[in-house]
Amino acid sequence: MSDAPSGPAVPPRGLLVVGDVVTDVVARHRGPLAPATDTAAEIRTVPGGAGANVACWAARSGCADVRVLGRVGRDALAWHERLLRQADVRPLLVADPGAPTATVVSLVDTATAERTFLTDSGAVLRISPADWDPAFLDGVGRLHLSGYLFFADASRALALTACRSALKAGIPVSLDPASAGFLAELGTERFLAAADGVEALLPNADEARLLSGVAGPEGAAAALSRRFPLVAVTLGAAGALVAVGGEVVARVAAPAPDTAAVDSTGAGDAFTGAFLAALLAGAGPVEAAGAGCRAGARAVTVVGGRPPLRD
C-alpha cells in the first residue's frame, strides 16, 4: 500500500434548497381580464414553488447533487416527489397531515408574458424546526433559503435553524427575498434581522429597493452589499447587477431568448439556480451571474417555473 499523500480534499459540491414546493395553476390569457364574465385562457397545472424551481434549475445547470426540503400536503406528495426525481433533484419532503399542498394561480398575459400571482400557502409555511435534521447538510457546499419561509413564524424559525446549522458547519448561505408584497407586510427590518449571516442575497429590483430604501437598482445593490458580502440583483430582460463591498462590480447583460417569451414565471428562480450551480463549480460571481442570465432567458420560453424534463 502506498504511503503517498492523497492530495487536497475536494470541497463538497452539493446544494440544499430549503423552501416552497407548490402546485401551480397557470392561466395564459391575451389582454385584460373581462370582469364579471368569461375570459378565454389556456390553463395548465404544473409543479412549481420558488424553492423547488431553484433546485431544478441548479440540477439542469450541472449541479450533480441537489436536494430540496419542503412541506407539502398528502394530496400531492407522490406527484411532487416523482417530478423532482425526474428533474434530478433529491426530494426531502415532509407530508403535512392537516393542510393541502400550496397552490399558486398564475395569471399570465400572453401579450406581455407578465404574470400576477394568487397564492394559497397551504402546507408551505407550516414547516418548522422539527422538520430539520443537520444530516441534510452532509456533502453540501451551499445552503439556499427561499424568502417565502420568512413570512410566517414557524417557517422563519426553520429557516433560522437551517442557517445556523450551515454557518456552524462553515457552509455559505444564500437567500432570495421572494416577494416584494410579502416583504412590505413583514417589514424590511424584521426581514434583514432574520437574514443575519447570509452570504449572498439575490433580490429582484423591487425587492432590492424595498430592502435598501434606495430607489435606483445600482444604488440599491451597492447599499445591500455593505450588509451582505455578495449581492446579485436581477433586472429581468435587462440582466443583472453584481455588487460586492459597497459597489457594483458588474452589470451583466441578458441574452435574447431563442424563441418568443411566453411566461416570465420562474425566471428569477432560473437565475438563482444557475448562479448557485456556477458558484459551486468554482465560478466567480460575475461569471455565475452570466450563467444565471442565460438560464433566465431560457426560462421565459417555457410555461411554468421549471426547465423541461429531459427526454
Q: Catalytic positions, please?
A: 269
**Which residue blocks in 88-226 are alpha helix, DSSP H?**
153-168, 180-186, 188-194, 205-212, 217-224
Closest CA to 12 of 269, 292, 282, 290: 282
What does the block give as the cell for 295?
Answer: 438560464
CA dist 92 and 109 (Å) reads: 34
CA dist 238 and 84 (Å) reads: 30
CA 18 and chain centroid, separation: 9
Return the amino acid letter for 293: C
CB atoms closer than 10 angstroms to residue 101:
27
Closest CA to 288 of 188, 144, 179: 144
- Alpha-carbon distances of 231 from 167, 179, 213, 240, 253, rounded to whole Å: 18, 17, 15, 10, 16
- Determine contact, residues 95/74, Cβ cutoff 8 Å: yes
Return the amino acid letter for 143: L
What does the block give as the cell for 92?
Answer: 426531502
CA dist 306 and 128 (Å) reads: 26
